[in-house]
Amino acid sequence: IVCLTAYTAPMAAVLDAYCDLMLVGDSLAMVVYGMDNTRDIDLDTMIRHGKAVMRRQETALVVIDLPAGSYEDSPEQAIASARRVIDETGAHGVKLEGGIAMRAHVQAISGSGIPVMGHIGFTPQFKKKFKIEGATSASAIKLLKEAKKIEKAGAFSIVLECLSPASAKLITNSLKIPTIGIGSSSYCDG
């Protein structure tokens, strides 16, 4: 699976022919706007950039990140934000960060008919200090449990960010849904 991040119409026009999936990531905050982290981008900005990417999308699936502050408070907030993203952009799905704590949110969004991509491991919206996740057997098992809960909640795919190769392999081989790696080795499906 080829998945790349696109933030603008020109980027999407170039990437669409080569990607199975384009992610409008909240990393937009740092890459385009020069912010210090991903936590300061808002839903309106994500929607604007999602619309831009969709203007040039022809074949790739487009998933848009739900930014920090737009979904964590409750499953109801998560559904409302996800519905707004889909209705205003025409994108194919949304992505949200978090493991077991976000299971009800994933279930609510997917239950409302909106495809959801999960995201575990290093989650920049929640963790301020970067570190490789899943480096010990205990942490790998914890991540596997989180991934299985997100899968069971209805996610169609899951991002594994900055996992050890062994953890990425364990999770990828244990799930029925595809994994997309961000710095998590070639053991991921994409």
- Provide the residue-wise pLDDT of the chain in tens; the chain has 190 residues: 999 999 999 999 999 999 999 999 999 999 999 999 999 999 999 999 999 999 999 999 999 999 999 999 999 999 999 999 999 999 999 999 998 999 999 999 999 999 999 999 999 888 878 789 999 999 999 999 999 999 999 999 999 999 999 999 999 999 999 999 999 999 999 9
Q: Is 72 a catalytic residue?
A: no
Beta bridge partners of 90: none
pLDDT tens for residues 73-122? 999 999 999 999 999 999 999 999 998 999 999 999 999 999 999 999 99
Helix axes 103-111, 75-89, angle to 10 degrees: 50
Q: What is the DSSP string of 14-51?
A: HHGGG-SEEEE-TTHHHHTT--SSSTT--HHHHHHHHH
Comparing C-alpha atoms, which of 95, 73, 98 is closest to residue 86? 95
Catalytic-labelled residue, pool 72, 133, 146, 161: 161
Give kind and range of the element (H or E) at residue 161.
strand 157-161
CA distance 57 to 52: 9
Question: How far, in Å, CA of 19 to CA of 23, rounded?
Answer: 10
Q: How many CA atoms lie within 13 A of 132 on its CB side?
A: 12
**Type and span of the H or E element at 181:** strand 179-182
Which residues make beta-bridge pairs with 93?
63
